[in-house]
Amino acid sequence: MRAIAILLVCAALAWAQPGRRGRGGPPAHAAPLNPAEVEQGEELYNQSCTMCHGLKGTVGDRAPALAANRRYLRATDAALFDAIKNGIKGTLMPPTPLPDADIGKLVAYIRSLRASAVDAPVNGDLTRGGAVFDGKGACRQCHMVDGRGGLLGPDLSSLGAERSLRYIEEALTRPKAHIPRGYQPVSFVDAEGRRVRAVVKNETNFSLQLLDEAGRLHLLLREEARGLRYEEQSLMPADYDKRLTAGEFQDLLAFLSRRARSRGTR
Amino acid sequence: MKLALVLTLAAWGAAAQVTYPDLVKADPRNWLTYQGPYHARRHSLLDQINARNVRDLVPKWVFHVPGASRLESVPIVVDGVMYVSQPNEAYALDGRTGRLIWEYRHEPAMQRGPNRGLAAYGNRVYMGTPSAELVALDARTGSLVWKAKMAEPEEGYWSPAAPLAIKDKIIAGIAPGDHGLNGFLDAYDPNTGERLWRWHSIPKPGEPGNETWAGDSWKTGGGNTWLTGSFDPELNLIYWGIGNPAPDFDGDVRKGDNLYTESMVALDADTGRMKWYFQFTPHDVHDWDAVEIPVLMDAPFDGKPRKLLAQANRNGFYYVLDRADGQFLLGTPFIKQLNWATGLTPEGRPIRAPGIVPSLEGTRTCPPTAGATNWHSPAFNPDTGLFYVVATEGCGINYKARDTFRPGGFPFMATGYIEDPEEPWQMYVRALELTTGKLRWEYQQIGSKRYGAGLLSTAGGLLFAGDEQGALTALDAATGKPLWHFNTGQQITASPVSYEFKGKQYIALAAGSNVIAFGLHDPAAEQASE
């Protein structure tokens, strides 16, 4: 208990830096999005990219979804520009013959698709938000930020670059229609006959890779996972609008939306 | 000196490697076309590997295809030599050791994919290219013998399908499907590359079928031929599935049935003239290319022996046609989530559910545009009487917008679709009774929602299936029970084949960026090879 309290204090100190307010803080990007550019970018995108990346970058037949996909994320404008201009060697991603100005529009469109929270103005106080994250919200129990925290939920260190503000808000207030891959909670009976709770990091017809509440991995063949039970509900408590006051919620949102480690903003 | 001369003569005078009778006979030790034998059942008659010993199946070799990501190529195998491709490139491998014999790199190497494989005829192998050429390569060295221009690459055409070798002709299809470029099917002289006939999938004014296109919409109608069909040597008919109409998602600008998009066509092999057609999805607005493999078999239907053609279509229905005349015999869903039609008329025409058309705000459509199935191969096992198909359960949200055709190879789709965010897709292997379409068993591919991995059936009572997770699995053909599996390490987007060399049966497939061959564990033999 004391260890946790100390940890919380340290964490609070770490974020207690001046000039890190959500409101009025500098945007994480050099240039804000220009709606006309975004629109032209969408047109270009629909002409040359949808057959692989899919409409709105959400489902690709031959390529990753470009919008808000953790695994493939190129987070900076420069990285996106480079991938589009030069292609990605050793993959199907081709170089584009389009002029640089058009590539810039494509980058703008992809950014708009992602509508990253870090690019959006958000009210609220970052420092107080960080305290809610560690304290009343107990988020760090399950989520790692900057190398510290729990393991059962996704690492949120770059959340603001990867997700839109609306997405984050919904994640805190509405259970997802489907538990995302990697976070299905299950329980099973281990060799000592104890029921163990865990999340499914991966599964196929033949094996399961499970991470239990104590942070232990269980690498099981399906027949070894005795008494395997799938839970209906995600571990993520999606009712923080009720658990927190409106002010705390807003501060938390400001804090979360500025987690953008992959952009080098903090 | 004399010896050299004799050798040269021997090489020149050697019997043709693959003759037309070879192709008709289809010795199961070889895998001679994209689909194996002409009937495209993908049922190997080899049974050395079978339900009793499949647990002893082990990888024998891996060939990494340089620079590959997700190969869609299906190897062909001739007397122990395997030929496999990726766009612009062909490789000949020793089927026992996986060692490279030769490689071919095509110029100009345009960046368009995928490539699905080669055809073998005589002493040559044939491949389509991203530059819309058909090339003939010497099967022993990979030397370029001739190349034929199929279409203008600058217009946006390319040729991904494995060609099909029939008697004195190489049949080759064309892509793309979604650019408003009209499709065709070609026949070429195997020796010279001269074009012998061309069948146009979109009829011109004055030709029957043109009236199914409002105004000038036929000019950008699409209807491509990007997957290999099948062939009946007795009827002398080529069966080929035709792709979607363009623009894909906006039917308002192309009112009418839009023939011969979304159809199965039967073409006379000598002339390329159409004998019959059957349109699965008239006036399609969901991009459900009807290119899926037409599988041929003879079986009683309604008590009468019939020459049948079966196809599991991307639109969610499983169809059985009479392949002599194209008569519709059966159509029944092979997926549970199907909301765009309430059924089929006695003639096989879909009865449309109102409102299931793409819209500005998005329309939930099941199956999704990705399809209830797609180009990954089905299989038919005459011993079980079952038709096997890899099916996607799920829905998409389909959108529509205005689009204008632009020459030069730009997509002309009038937007597209997304996966229904409320409901992730799920892949299944399903076994259907041939003449009823009834589901006999299904195998859920846990953790897989992306299509691409096809099937191989064998006389050993096995059905081999790949999946998105990279597992190659042998299922009991009668029950669907998994008997063996191997993690290939990459998403599988191709179909397995089987062949025999020096008395040993192999199962092989392209898995991600590798080609992998499996055989029964045999410690003595492994010492002897590598």
Residue A217 lies in a domain: yes
Cβ-based burial of B97 (10 A; exposed 0-12, middle 13-18, buried ≥19): middle
| Interface residue ranges in chain A relative to chain B, Cβ cutoff 8 Å | 46-48, 50-51, 54-56, 58-59, 61-62, 87, 89-92, 94-95, 177-178, 181, 202-206
Number of domains within chain B: 1
CA angle B101, B106, B109 (to 5 degrees): 135
Tokens at B494, concatenated: 């191709």
Number of domains within chain A: 3
Name the pLDDT band for A64 (thresholds 50, 70, 90): low
Interchain contact, B370 vs A46, CB within 8 Å: no
How far are the Cα atoms of A137, B214, B246, B247, B416 from residue B413, in angstroms, in the given order? Answer: 47, 17, 6, 4, 7
Name the pLDDT band for A63 (thresholds 50, 70, 90): low
Co-location of A240 and A225 in the same domain: no
Sequence letter at residue B477: A
Please determine, for residue B59, whether its predicted confidence score (pLDDT) is greater than 90: yes
Residue B6: CB atoms within 10 A of its CB come to 10
Co-location of A8 and A106 in the same domain: yes
Please determine, for residue A80, whether its predicted confidence score (pLDDT) is greater than 80: yes
Co-location of A59 and A141 in the same domain: no
| Over residues A206-231, mean pLDDT | 94
Distance (Å, rounded) from C-alpha A226 to C-alpha B150?
Answer: 59
Distance (Å, rounded) from C-alpha B517 to C-alpha B530?
Answer: 14
Q: Containing domain of residue A141, as a range?
A: 126-176+236-263
Chain B hits for A54, Cβ within 8 Å = 416-418
Please determine, for residue A265, whether its predicted confidence score (pLDDT) is greater than 60: no
Q: Phi/psi class of residue B502: alpha, beta or left (left: φ > 0; alpha: ψ in -120 to 50)?
A: left
Identify whether the C-beta of residue B276 lies closer than 8 Å to the C-beta of residue B327.
Answer: no
Co-location of A87 and A131 in the same domain: no
Which has the higher per-residue pLDDT, A35 or B68? B68
- Where residue B266 sits, what CATH number does that domain have? 2.140.10.10
Residue A116, SS3? strand
Phi/psi at A23 (5° precision): -75, 135
pLDDT tens profile A90-136: 777 888 889 999 999 999 888 888 778 888 889 999 999 999 999 99
Q: Which of B248, B257, B287, B289 is catalytic?
A: B287
Co-location of A35 and A78 in the same domain: yes
- Where residue A199 sits, what CATH number does that domain have? 2.30.30
B507 bridge partner residues: B498, B518
Co-location of A46 and A141 in the same domain: no
**Quick one: which of B512, B384, B390 has its CA closest to B444?**
B390
Query: Of A60, A79, A114, at which residue does a domain stop?
Result: A114
Co-location of A103 and A163 in the same domain: no
| Over residues B171-175, mean pLDDT | 97
The rounded percent of chain B whose pLDDT value lies above 90 is 88
Residue A20 lies in a domain: yes
Identify whether the C-beta of residue B453 lies closer than 8 Å to the C-beta of residue B495.
Answer: yes
Name the pLDDT band for A25 (thresholds 50, 70, 90): very low
Helices A165-173 and A246-257: crossing angle in degrees, nearest 10, is 130
- Position B151 scores a pLDDT of 97
Chain A hits for B421, Cβ within 8 Å = 58, 177
Report how many Cβ contacts below 8 Å link chain A to chain B: 76
Co-location of A54 and A29 in the same domain: yes
Residue A130 lies in a domain: yes
Distance (Å, rounded) from C-alpha B118 to C-alpha B82?
Answer: 10
A209-218, B407-416, B504-513: which has the minimum mean pLDDT?
Answer: B407-416
- Position B350 scores a pLDDT of 98
pLDDT tens profile A127-162: 999 999 999 999 999 999 999 999 999 999 989 988
- Position B112 scores a pLDDT of 85
Chain B hits for A98, Cβ within 8 Å = none
**End-to-end Cα separation, chain B, in angstroms:** 35
Residue A120 lies in a domain: no
| Over residues A214-231, mean pLDDT | 94
- Where residue A157 sits, what CATH number does that domain have? 1.10.760.10
- Position A10 scores a pLDDT of 33
Residue A211 lies in a domain: yes
Residue B304, SS3? strand
Name the pLDDT band for B2 (thresholds 50, 70, 90): very low
Identify whether the C-beta of residue B139 lies closer than 8 Å to the C-beta of residue B120.
Answer: yes
Co-location of A243 and A163 in the same domain: yes
- Position B432 scores a pLDDT of 98
Please determine, for residue A1, whether its predicted confidence score (pLDDT) is greater than 80: no
| Over residues A223-245, mean pLDDT | 96
Q: Containing domain of residue B57, as a range?
A: 2-528
Name the pLDDT band for B403 (thresholds 50, 70, 90): confident
Interchain contact, A92 vs B70, CB within 8 Å: yes
DSSP assignment of B482-495 equals EEEEEE-SS---S-
Examine the predicted complex and report whether its ipTM is higher than 0.85: no
- Position B530 scores a pLDDT of 56
Strand order in the sheet with B237-241: B230-232, B237-241, B263-268, B274-279
Co-location of A96 and A163 in the same domain: no
pLDDT tens profile B501-519: 999 999 999 999 999 999 9
Tokens at A15, concatenated: 């974020």
- Position A73 scores a pLDDT of 58
Name the pLDDT band for B419 (thresholds 50, 70, 90): confident
Average predicted confidence (pLDDT) for chain B: 94
A39-53, A131-145, A204-218, B187-201: which has the minimum mean pLDDT?
Answer: A39-53
Distance (Å, rounded) from C-alpha B295 to C-alpha B273?
Answer: 21
| Over residues B281-289, mean pLDDT | 97
Residue A121 lies in a domain: no
Q: Where are the beta strands (DSSP E) in chain A?
A: 144-145, 148-149, 184-189, 195-203, 207-212, 217-221, 226-230
Distance (Å, rounded) from C-alpha A145 to C-alpha A259?
Answer: 8
How far are the Cα atoms of B57, B74, B113, B469 from residue B511, in angstroms, in the given order? Answer: 17, 10, 16, 11
Distance (Å, rounded) from C-alpha B280 to C-alpha B264?
Answer: 8
Distance (Å, rounded) from C-alpha B420 to C-alpha B392?
Answer: 13
Distance (Å, rounded) from C-alpha B355 to C-alpha B340?
Answer: 8
- Position B87 scores a pLDDT of 96
Helices A126-134 and A246-257: crossing angle in degrees, nearest 10, is 100
pLDDT tens profile B77-127: 999 999 999 999 999 999 999 999 999 999 999 988 899 999 999 999 999
Q: Given the DSSP bridges, would you call strands B462-465 and B471-476 parallel, antiparallel or unpaired?
A: antiparallel
Tokens at A127, concatenated: 């420092």
Name the pLDDT band for A4 (thresholds 50, 70, 90): very low
Interchain contact, A91 vs B69, CB within 8 Å: yes
- Residue A154 is classified by DSSP as P
- Position A22 scores a pLDDT of 35
Which has the higher per-residue pLDDT, B252 or B528? B252
Name the pLDDT band for B25 (thresholds 50, 70, 90): very high
Tokens at B50, concatenated: 């079978």
B residues 264-283 near A, CB within 8 Å? none
Q: Where are the beta strands (DSSP E) in B224-291?
A: 230-232, 237-241, 263-268, 274-279
B266 bridge partner residues: B239, B276
Name the pLDDT band for B524 (thresholds 50, 70, 90): confident
Percent of residues in chain B assigned helix, strand, coil, to nearest 5: 10, 40, 55
A85-94, A196-205, B305-314: which has the minimum mean pLDDT?
Answer: A85-94
DSSP assignment of B363-392 equals EEESS-TT-SS-SS--EEETTTTEEEEEEE
